[in-house]
Structure 1
Amino acid sequence: MRRPVGIKDVAGAAGVSVGTVSNVINRPDSVTEETRRRVLSAIERLGYVRSESARQLRAGRSRILAVLVLDMANPFFVGVASGAERSARAAGLGVMLCNSAESPAEEAAYLTLFSEQRVRGVLVTPADMSGRNLDAFRRHGIPFVFVDRVVPSADGCSVSVDDVNGGALAVRHLLRRGSRDIAYVSGPMHLTQCQNRRDGALRALAEVGLPPAALRHVEAARLDVTAGRDAGARLLGMAPRPTAVFCANDLLALGVLQTLYHAGVRVPEDIALVGYDDIEFAAAAAVPLTSVRQPARRLGGAAADLLIEETGDDAAAHRHRRIVLQPELVVRASTLAGARH
């Protein structure tokens, strides 16, 4: 196996010192134009690529931000990652994107990898709600920002969406259209998002004098379409069936919609349906889906900006902040009585 081309090889090919090659790469204004051209020609001819790990050791910090999300199959998190990447690129940084798959064990493994790689910082949507994984990671001194979650202390930054308000928006809409028998389909309830969206739904019921028991709850194993199909089958088995369903995300709602469609249940005439996130697929569904929109790209971009500020040249002036964005309801055919689809 051929060994990688090193800086000494470039220096020998260009007839200059190793220090001159280093200056051409890092401080090009400090060398003459003729020397710079000769060194760059040698770099191109030999195919030299500088060692980022070596550069990090000299500089004392990485140019890589890690982004650890719950589910890369969910377009919402794709949007979050896209927003984070845009901010990182604008600051001259790269992004390492990883997927915990909602698993605390996977999350712990990735956090260990990030500490070994000495990444500049981490954007994380936690899977381990006990906080143990991040408590262990904190001792490495690598900054992190919570994304789509409020940081539980004053020791860090977070960017989140007001999910309690989002859940209330969804159920208020269903109540206004006359629904009183409402089911909530959630993912695992150890996830804060699922808890908060249910709390918002209960708040909306309380506003019209309905007790918490009026909200029937179906807890799915995951926040994906397959779990939504299974939840749909459970809804069909209820007696009486609910007249409206609020799902904790759009993927669950799309799965529920598929099950209802194949069972001949009309949406919204028989059952009205609301999702959450407003991913691109929501508007393109067979019955366009009413959904609570989250500003995913803005969420990721704002979180990356906080992390870049905390790890930049003016880090001493950084103050931890909690940014809470507001969701909005986007109404489509899945809740509009008499809508054509």
Structure 2
Amino acid sequence: MTTPSVHDVANSAGVSVGTVSNVLNHPHKVSPSTIERVQKAIESLGFIRNDAARQLRVGHSQTIGLVVLDVRNPFFTDIARGAEDKAAEGGLTVTLGNSDENSEREAKYLDLFEQQRVFGVLISPYGDITDRLDSMRKRGIPAVLVDRESPNSTFSSVSVDDIVGGKLAADHLLDIGRRRIAFIGGPMAIRQVSDRLAGARQAVDTVPGAQIEVIEIEGLSVIAGRAAGAEIVARVPADRPDAIFAANDLVAMGVLQALLMNGGTALAVRVPEDIALMGYDDIDFASAAVVPLSSISQPSAHMGRTAVEILLDEAANPETDRRQVVFAPKLVIRASTISAN
């Protein structure tokens, strides 16, 4: 049986081969009635487009490669959803890669995306990949940094001011009278973590008698947060902080579990009465926690959409000026820092 070709689709739909190509690649150039006619021909013939051949003709695929630090974090899945929605408007798809905060794994995804001649790359980098992204750009693959500003504005980026976010979090804890703040996060090699800590330090340094303890963890996960929380619970009450600022909501959720799982014992810790707890990202689970979690909100889905918009602009005009879009974080106050009584 002969595989149907684009010419067969054109003949069946009564249109030109160019019109079929526009329906497949630039549907905004074709009338709805023509699109419907061509799609019916495609379905009846069982036509499957040859993307490999198309890539050879145009030099790239219709796929955007997205690399995030941790796909388990709903913050990054929200970014991916925003990017996917915007990409779909332009007839593009998004392929998601999870670096898992690992430089080697990050490099492998970039290798894969380069081999696949992706349309462009969105990446929340773990290591210093400036040289690698510059090399890919010279080969026609533009890149936009997500959740990270670009050093020296070498690349366009979409991020949130994490220093301001860290300061917002610590200011709130200080405003409710807390003076012994523990920051839980890591690795510090992740720029977002170090920036959030830097902002918290700025706030603490302005208040006499306030202090900040840093508890560095190996990853931004619930498990790592639970372990850090258990270490705090094991201390005598006088040695515990009276507030905790977790580098993200997943860590804060783990800390909350550790603080509450000893309820009814000599090690019981009340939130927020004994220890106020602040997260970061304001993921959906934050408001649904057993003690709703105060957090710093980021416009994650909007960040994903904006990153794709910039990528499309740079693909159309590679010489355009690089853009650094920085969103302002917002404080969201819930029961983990403010008692209902």
TM over 0.5: yes
Q: Normalising by structure 1, what TM-score?
A: 0.87
Between the aligned partners of 2:326 and 2:40, the Cα distance in structure 1 is 51
Deviation at 1:41, TM superposition (A): 6.7
Between the aligned partners of 1:203 and 1:273, the Cα distance in structure 2 is 19
Between the aligned partners of 1:316 and 1:282, the Cα distance in structure 2 is 40
Confirm or deny that 1:221 pairs with 2:218. Answer: yes
How many residues are aligned here?
326
- Aligned equivalent of 2:265: none
Deviation at 1:135, TM superposition (A): 5.2
What is the RMSD computed on CA atoms of the aligned residues? 2.8
Question: Which deviations, in whole Å up to 9, do the C-alpha atoms of 1:101-138 show, x marking residues without a partner?
Answer: 11111110000011101111111000114656545545
- Aligned equivalent of 1:22: 17
Letter matched to residue 234 of structure 2: G
Letter matched to residue 7 of structure 1: S
Deviation at 1:23, TM superposition (A): 3.5
Q: Is the 8 A contact 1:112 1:137 kept in 2?
A: no
Confirm or deny that 1:47 pairs with 2:46. Answer: yes
Letter matched to residue 181 of structure 1: R
Q: Is the 8 A contact 1:244 1:272 kept in 2?
A: yes
Q: Is the 8 A contact 2:9 2:20 kept in 1?
A: no
Between the aligned partners of 1:114 and 1:22, the Cα distance in structure 2 is 30
Deviation at 1:298, TM superposition (A): 1.2
- Aligned equivalent of 2:282: 278
Question: Identity percentage over the alignment?
Answer: 45
Query: Measured at CA, do residues 238 and 217 of structure 1 come closer, stay the same or move farther in structure 2, by a change above 3 Å?
Result: farther
Between the aligned partners of 1:27 and 1:176, the Cα distance in structure 2 is 59
- Aligned equivalent of 1:322: 324
Any idea what SS the aligned residue of 1:277 has? Answer: coil
Query: Measured at CA, do residues 96 and 200 of structure 1 come closer, stay the same or move farther in structure 2, by a change above 3 Å?
Result: same
Between the aligned partners of 2:291 and 2:127, the Cα distance in structure 1 is 35
Any idea what SS the aligned residue of 2:57 has? Answer: helix
Q: 1:286-301, aligned counterparts within 5 Å?
A: 286-301=290-305
Any idea what SS the aligned residue of 2:331 has? Answer: strand
- Aligned equivalent of 1:336: 338
Any idea what SS the aligned residue of 1:184 has? Answer: strand
Q: Is the 8 A contact 2:9 2:45 kept in 1?
A: no
Q: 1:80-99, aligned counterparts within 5 Å?
A: 80-99=79-98
Deviation at 1:190, TM superposition (A): 0.5
Deviation at 1:235, TM superposition (A): 1.7
Between the aligned partners of 2:100 and 2:192, the Cα distance in structure 1 is 15
Deviation at 1:6, TM superposition (A): 4.5
Deviation at 1:139, TM superposition (A): 4.9
Question: Which deviations, in whole Å up to 9, do the C-alpha atoms of 1:47-100 show, x marking residues without a partner?
Answer: 111112212222233321111111111100011111111211122221111111
Deviation at 1:233, TM superposition (A): 1.2
Q: Is the 8 A contact 1:161 1:326 kept in 2?
A: yes
Between the aligned partners of 2:291 and 2:5, the Cα distance in structure 1 is 60
- In structure 1, the gaps of 5 or more residues are none
